[in-house]
Structure 1
Amino acid sequence: MRAAPRPVPQPLRHLVLVLGDQLDLASSAFDGFDPGHDAVWMAEVAEESTHVWSAQPRIVMFLAAMRHFAAEVRARGWALRYTHLDDEHNTGTLAGELARAVQALRPQRLILTAPGDWRVLHALRAQAKALAVPLELRDDRHFWVTVRDFAAYAKGRQSLRLEFFYREMRRRHRVLMDGDRPAGGQWNFDADNRERFDPVAGPPPVPDPLSFAPDAVTREVIALVRRRFASHPGALERFDWPLTRAQALAALDDFITHRLGDFGRWQDALWPGRPWLWHARLSAALNLKLLQPREVVAAAEAAWRAGRVPLRSAEGFIRQILGWREYVRGIYWTQMPAYAALNALGAHAPLPAFFWSGDTDLACLRDALTQTLRLGYAHHIQRLMVIGLYALLLGVEPRQISDWFLAVYVDAVEWVELPNVIGMGQFADGGRMASKPYIASGKYIERMAAGRYCAQCRYDPAARTGPRACPYTTLYWDFLLRHEALLAANPRTVMQVNNLARVDEGERRAIRAHAEALRARP
C-alpha cells in the first residue's frame, strides 16, 4: 500500500526535480529546501525505457531505486509529487509529467541539479520555457570536476588523454600522494594488473559480491516490468542489486574487505561462467548517486594505507573513479550533441540480431552476451575487448552499438556510456578521447581467458581464413587492411600494421572475402 503523501504547500515556492539517476539527499537541488514552502517531483515514465529498447533488469534498477528513494523523501516529511508508471494519467514522458505537475501545483520556480543526459536536459529546459516557469540549474556536486572546469582544462589542448588528466586530479585532490610525489613512486600500475588465471586451476577462491534479495517494493516493480515490458530483453530471476543508500554502503564495504586486495591483479582476466570475480559491482550505485565517488576513493585509499590491500589494486581501482569516470563525463558534456553522431571509421554494418539473444557459436561472445542479458552486467574487459571489439571489427554503425550498451546494462547512463562506446570502444571520434583503436585478434581473448573459451569453441584463434578461422581473427586482419593508412600513421598501432607485410596478396583477398561473408551473415 502506498503511503499517503504530505500535502504540497500552497503557494509553492520551489518544485525540486529529481531524476532517476539523482537519488542523493545531499544533492545541490536540495540546498535551501524548506518543507513549509517547497516540494519534490519525481516521475516514472515509459519514454526512459523505450527511447532505447531497455532490458528488464535496467528498468527495474531505476524504478525500484526511485521508489526506495521516494520513501526516504517522505520519511523526512517532505511533500512529494510522484508519478508511478501505471498511474492512469501518466503521459509517458518527463516533459509531459513536468507540465502536469506545474499546471497542478503552480510553483514559482523549478530547481534541478544538472542532468547526466543531454537529451533530458534539453527536454526539461524546453518544457520549462514553454510553461513560462523559471528553471534554476545547479552544479552536480557528485563529481570532482564541473563541466566548466573540464572545458577550461581542455581548452587549447590538441588532444585529451586520460593519463595526464588523472595525474592532475591526483595532485589537485591529494589522492594517493606522498607529498608532491605519487604513492609508490609511479602514477599508474596498469602494467602490473594484467595477470591471467591458471588454465587448469582457474580463478582462486573469491567470495561472491554481497547480494540483496528484492523486498516488497522491488517485487512490485519486478511484476510491473514483467507485465508492462514483456517484449523487452533480459531476465529478472537473479535481480539482487543494491537499491538504497544503506545497501550501497554495505556493498562498498564488502568489496573493500573481500575483493579489492586482488582486484588489481586479476581485473582484466576472463573466465567462462564467472561474471563477478574480483570486480566491485558498484558502478550502478555510483551512477544512481547512491554512493559518492569521494567516499569510494577514500575507502580504497584507507585500505591501502592501513596495509590491507596492495597499492597496485588501490591505484587501479581509484583510477577508474577519480580518473576515467570524471574524464568521460568531461568529454561527454564538452562534445555533445555532435559527439553522438560521430563515425570516423565510416562503419555502417547493422548490429547483429544475436546481440539481443546471445545466440552465437563464438564461445567468448556468447558467454558475455548471455551473461549481460541475464544479469545486466559485464565487466570492463568483456564490454571493451569481447563485445565492443566484435562490433568494431565487424564495422557496426557506432550509434547502433552505443544504443545497445545503453539499453542492456543496469549501470548505463548516457554521460558515461556514450563516450566509452563511441570514443574508446569504437574509435568513432577519430581519437579525441583515446589514443588508438582497441583492436585485437582472437589470440588476445585466448590469452586473457587462459584458453578456456577457445577450448570449447569451434573456431581456431590462430586461423584467419578457412572454415575454422576465428571471426575475431579474420575481422582483425580485415580491419588492418581497411584502415591501413590510418593505423600506420598512429605510433601506437604502426607495429600491428607492419605485420601486414607478411600477408601476400592472395591471402589478403581471402581475408577480405571471408570478412564480407561474416558481415553478410554475422
Structure 2
Amino acid sequence: MTTLRLVLGDQCSEGLSALEGLAAGDVVLMAEVRAECTYVRHHKQKIVLVLSAMRHFSELLRARGISVDYVKLDDPANSHTLAGEVARAAKAHGARRIVCTHPGELRVLEDMQGCGAATGLPVEIRDDTRFLCSLDRFRAWAGEKKQLRMEYFYREMRRATGLLMEAPDEPAGGQWNYDAENRAALPAGLVPPKPRRFAPDAVTREVMALVEREFPDHFGDLQKFGWPVTAAQATQALEDFIAHRLPRFGDYQDAMAEGEATLFHALVGAALNCGLLDPMAACRAAEAAWRAGAAPLNAVEGFVRQILGWREYVRGLYWLKMPGYRDTNALEAHRKLPWLYWSGETAMACMAAAIGQTRDLAYAHHIQRLMVTGNFALLAGIAPAEVNDWYMVVYADAYEWVELPNVQGMALHADGGVMASKPYAASGAYINRMSNHCRGCAYDVKRPTGPGACPFNFLYWDFVARHAARFAKNPRMAMPLRTLARMDAKKVAAMRAEAKGFLDALAEDAEPMLRARGQQKLL
C-alpha cells in the first residue's frame, strides 16, 4: 500500500514526523508551486532560500534511497497549487493514503485538509515534533488567561527542558531573565565579526536564475544572497555564531549601528524556520558554550530565550488565536503603508538603514523590526493588515505563524494587550540611545517640533495624545500620560499638527525633508 508523504518547503528536516515509518514503496512529494511564492510577493531571497533548500533536501532523501516525486516550478505539468500537486501525485503513484506534518500556517492547513476531498484518500496530519512545545501543551498553559505573558511560558519551558537550570526550579545564575543586561549601545571602534555566508552552488544558482525570470518585480535583490541552504551549512552558521559572536551577543543584542547590518546576531532564524536547524540543538550548543566558560550567561540566556521562549510562544499564540487574531485592530489604525517602506526614500537615517539592509539581505534584527520600522508603523497608525503583509514579504525568516503575532501583539499592540502589557512606542530618544543613526541624520533627534524635528518625536506625542483615554487605566502608560498632561497645550497642539502634516505628506509619497532639500533616493 503506497503512502504519499508530503514535505513542504519549510519542512526540510530529516526528523520530520511525516517521514516516520517510511516504508518501501512510499513516495515523498515535494512541489514548488507558484501559489506559495505569490500569496504575498515574497522577497526574492526568501523564494531562493526555500526552493534551493527543497532541492538540496530532495537530493539528500534520494541519496538515502527514498523515492521522491519532485515537481519544479517550471515543470509544464505543474498545477501550481498544493492540492493540485497532491492529487496529481496520488493518482500517478496509486497512493492509498496521504501523510503530512502539521503546517506552520492556517491557510496551508486548510489546503491539507482539503486534499482528502480532492483525492478521496484518508489524510493523516501529524504533529510537528520539531517544535519544543506541542499545540496541546500550549493550549493547556494558556487556559482561561486573558493575558498571555511570554515570560511565564518561558519559565515553564526552561523547567520542562532543563535548559540553563541548576535544579528543577533554580535557574542558572539565580535569575530567569537577563534582558536588563542586554541593552548596551555599541561602543565606538568596536567592529563586530562578520557572519559566515555561503556562496551559491550550482543548485542555488539555477534557482536564482529561475526566480529572476519568474518573479522579476518582487521586492529585494539577489546580489548578496548567502543563506545556508542545507542542514550542514546551517550547522556551520550556528557554530560560527557561537564561536565568534555569541560572547558579546548579550551585551549588544538591542544595539543598532550605521553600516553594521548584523552586529553580534546569530542569523539562524531563517534556517530554523525552514527546517534546516533543530531548535533544541541550537539551544544546547549555546548552553554548552556557557558551561565551558566560552560565553557569558546573559548572552546565552538571551539567545535561548529567543528560541525556547519567543519562537515557541508566538507559534502557540498563533494557533490559539487564529483565525480571528489576524483581524485584530484594537488601536483602530487605518492609514495606508507609506511608499518609503518599499523605496527606502526617507531622510530618517534609522528607517533608511533598516529598509536598505532588508532589501539587500532580507534581514533586519529584532530591534530594527520592533523599535524602528514597527515603532514608526505604530506611531503613524498604519493598518495592521498592511504592516503584516510588508513583514511577510521582506524577510527570509517570515512565516505567518511567527510574523503575525510579533506584528499584531508586539509591534502594533493591535491585539489590545493579549501579548504585551503596553504598546512598544518610543520617541527618537530611544533610537538615539541604542544606535548611532541620529548623529548623521538630517533630522534633529533633540527637537520635538519645528524645522528639522525628528519625526519620531512629534509622532510619539501625537500617538500618546490620540490614545490618552484608551490608556488611562494602563499603569505602564501612566508616566507618558502624566508628562503629556503637564505639557504646554500650545506645544502639544503644534506637535500634533506637525504629525498630521508629516503623515499627510507621506500619503502623497513626499516626505517633507526630502521635498524641501530636493533629495532623491538615499539608498
Partners of 2:89 and 2:339 lie apart in 1 by: 40
Partner of residue 519, structure 1? 503
* 1:178-197 equivalent positions in 2, closer than 5 A: 178-179=166-167, 180-197=169-186
Contact residue 27 and residue 141 of structure 1 kept, 8 A: yes
Which of 35, 38, 47 is the aligned partner of 2:35?
47
User: SS where residue 137 of structure 1 aligns?
Assistant: strand
* 1:458-477 equivalent positions in 2, closer than 5 A: 458-477=442-461
User: SS where residue 484 of structure 1 aligns?
Assistant: coil
Give the aligned length.
Answer: 505
Partners of 2:325 and 2:451 lie apart in 1 by: 39
Amino acid at match of 1:43: A
* 1:10-21 equivalent positions in 2, closer than 5 A: 12-21=1-10
Q: Percent identity?
A: 53
Partners of 1:214 and 1:404 lie apart in 2 by: 26
Partners of 1:82 and 1:197 lie apart in 2 by: 47
Partner of residue 244, structure 1? 230
Partners of 1:257 and 1:197 lie apart in 2 by: 20
Which of 355, 359, 365 is the aligned partner of 1:379?
365
Q: Does 1:110 align with 2:131?
A: no
Partner of residue 493, structure 2? 509
Partners of 1:437 and 1:221 lie apart in 2 by: 41
Partner of residue 159, structure 1? 147
Deviations 1:437-491 (A, max 9, x none): 1000011101111xx3122212112222212121111110000001112223212
Contact residue 144 and residue 326 of structure 1 kept, 8 A: yes
Partners of 1:439 and 1:487 lie apart in 2 by: 13
Partner of residue 331, structure 2? 345
Deviations 1:254-294 (A, max 9, x none): 11111111000110011011011100010011001111111
Deviation at 1:37, TM superposition (A): 2.2
User: SS where residue 377 of structure 1 aligns?
Assistant: coil
Deviation at 1:92, TM superposition (A): 1.9
Deviates more, 1:131-140 or 1:100-109: 100-109
Amino acid at match of 1:324: W
Partners of 2:290 and 2:133 lie apart in 1 by: 25
* 1:80-159 equivalent positions in 2, closer than 5 A: 80-159=68-147
Contact residue 253 and residue 264 of structure 2 kept, 8 A: yes
User: SS where residue 131 of structure 2 aligns?
Assistant: coil
Deviates more, 1:136-145 or 1:458-467: 458-467
Deviations 1:287-342 (A, max 9, x none): 01111111011001111011111111111111111111110011000001111111
Contact residue 142 and residue 293 of structure 1 kept, 8 A: yes
* 1:89-488 equivalent positions in 2, closer than 5 A: 89-179=77-167, 180-198=169-187, 201-202=188-189, 204-449=190-435, 452-488=436-472
Partners of 2:293 and 2:421 lie apart in 1 by: 35
User: SS where residue 441 of structure 2 aligns?
Assistant: coil
State the TM-score, normalized to the length of structure 2.
0.95
Partners of 2:393 and 2:85 lie apart in 1 by: 23
Partners of 1:511 and 1:97 lie apart in 2 by: 56
Deviates more, 1:95-104 or 1:385-394: 95-104
Q: Does 1:78 align with 2:66?
A: yes
User: SS where residue 446 of structure 2 aligns?
Assistant: coil
Deviations 1:159-201 (A, max 9, x none): 1101111111111111111113111011111101111123xx2
Partners of 1:480 and 1:296 lie apart in 2 by: 40
Partners of 2:91 and 2:340 lie apart in 1 by: 45
Amino acid at match of 1:236: L
Partner of residue 515, structure 2? none
Partners of 1:359 and 1:140 lie apart in 2 by: 41
Deviations 1:478-513 (A, max 9, x none): 000011122232122211111102322222222222
Amino acid at match of 1:242: P
Partner of residue 509, structure 2? none
Contact residue 115 and residue 123 of structure 2 kept, 8 A: no
Partners of 2:281 and 2:309 lie apart in 1 by: 15
What root-mean-square deviation, in Å, do the aligned CA atoms of Structure 1 and Structure 2 show? 1.1
User: SS where residue 69 of structure 2 aligns?
Assistant: strand
Amino acid at match of 1:476: Y
Which of 20, 26, 29 is the aligned partner of 2:15?
26
User: SS where residue 210 of structure 1 aligns?
Assistant: coil
Contact residue 208 and residue 276 of structure 1 kept, 8 A: yes
Deviations 1:52-109 (A, max 9, x none): 1111111111111111111111111211111111111222221222222223223111
Partners of 1:158 and 1:454 lie apart in 2 by: 39
Deviations 1:420-446 (A, max 9, x none): 111111111001111111000011101
Structure 1: runs of 5+ lacking an equivalent? 1-11
Deviations 1:22-70 (A, max 9, x none): 0001111111101x22100011111112111111111111111111111
Partners of 2:502 and 2:91 lie apart in 1 by: 55
Amino acid at match of 2:284: A
Contact residue 235 and residue 277 of structure 2 kept, 8 A: yes
Contact residue 351 and residue 372 of structure 2 kept, 8 A: yes
Deviation at 1:398, TM superposition (A): 0.3
Partners of 1:206 and 1:375 lie apart in 2 by: 17
Amino acid at match of 2:185: R
Deviation at 1:520, TM superposition (A): 1.3
Partners of 1:437 and 1:205 lie apart in 2 by: 33
Partners of 1:187 and 1:111 lie apart in 2 by: 40
Partner of residue 500, structure 1? 484
User: SS where residue 485 of structure 1 aligns?
Assistant: coil
Contact residue 29 and residue 113 of structure 1 kept, 8 A: yes
Partners of 1:178 and 1:140 lie apart in 2 by: 29
Contact residue 27 and residue 113 of structure 1 kept, 8 A: yes
Deviations 1:322-366 (A, max 9, x none): 111110011000001111111110000001112112111111100
User: SS where residue 42 of structure 1 aligns?
Assistant: strand
Deviations 1:236-255 (A, max 9, x none): 11101111010011111111
Contact residue 349 and residue 519 of structure 1 kept, 8 A: no
Amino acid at match of 1:453: H
Contact residue 33 and residue 80 of structure 2 kept, 8 A: yes
Contact residue 15 and residue 40 of structure 1 kept, 8 A: yes
